[in-house]
Amino acid sequence: MEAFLASRVLTSSDDWAGSIERAVSMQAAADDVVRAVVQQARQNGATWQVVGDALGVSRQAAFQRYGKPMDPRTGEPMNTTPLPGAAELAASVIEDLVAGQWPRVAERFDPAMRDGLSEDALAAAWAQIVGLAGAFEGHGEPEVTRAGDVTITNTPLSLEAGDYTARIAFRDDRTIAGLHILERQAS
């Protein structure tokens, strides 16, 4: 099978760009076929577990890639596209936390966050984490997902004596709807 597919894109000339373009086109077509088969399977009663098992991923990963979540409030399809630039936003919030720029973090809060978390409380929470795990050493790449009305970023944090995850939820207007520093569980 692979030889047949390769024969459709490989040529005897040195047109590697053309070969790559043809291969990418075939890949896109194959992705379209998989999407159509998944939709047909779901319409005929296949569970996300069955779909995920067939794809070699979890049922949640299968749903996130091929599902069409419906908003239970409206019955309309939900926006599943994460906020553009969310990873950079999360990194800048973390940098402000580490630098003790509580006002800069708090000014990004949406109204509910502003009502629920003062600059002093934010500073105290960060001080508690530093007290438990030492100085901040760095952060990893944020994972970005869309959940309902918010984009959620999960960014690994490394402190001297502990690993944490900064979970920050952003609204589409780029305000912060949630900010949690969670202990990372050992795998």
pLDDT tens digits for 38-80? 989 998 999 999 999 999 999 988 888 888 878 788 888 877 7
| Contact in structure between 138 and 158 (CB atoms under 8 Å) | yes
What is the reported pLDDT for 12? 61
Q: Which residues contact 162 (CB under 8 A, 6 or more apart)?
A: 132, 133, 134, 183, 184
More confident position, 138 or 27: 138
pTM of the model: 0.67
Residues 157, 136 contacting (CB under 8 angstroms): yes
Q: Which of 117, 78, 108, 103 is nearest to 90 (CA)?
A: 108
Please give the C-alpha separations between residue 76 and each of 39, 69, 141, 148, in angstroms, as whole numbers: 18, 9, 32, 12
Report residue 27's pLDDT band, with 50, 70 and 90 as the boundaries.
confident
Instruction: Tell me the one-letter amino acid at 15.
Output: D
E strand or H helix at 154, and its extent? strand 150-159
Burial profile 118-136: b = 16 or more Cβ within 10 angstroms, e = fewer: ebeebeeebeebeeebeeb
Judged against a pLDDT cut of 50, whether residue 121 lies above it is answered with: yes
Instruction: Quote the pLDDT of residue 41.
Output: 92
Distance in angstroms (rounded) separating the CA atoms of residues 144 and 101: 24
With a pLDDT cut of 70, the percent of the chain lying above it is 92
Q: Is the pLDDT of residue 172 over 60?
A: yes
Q: How confident is the model at residue 165 (pLDDT cuts 50, 70, 90)?
A: very high
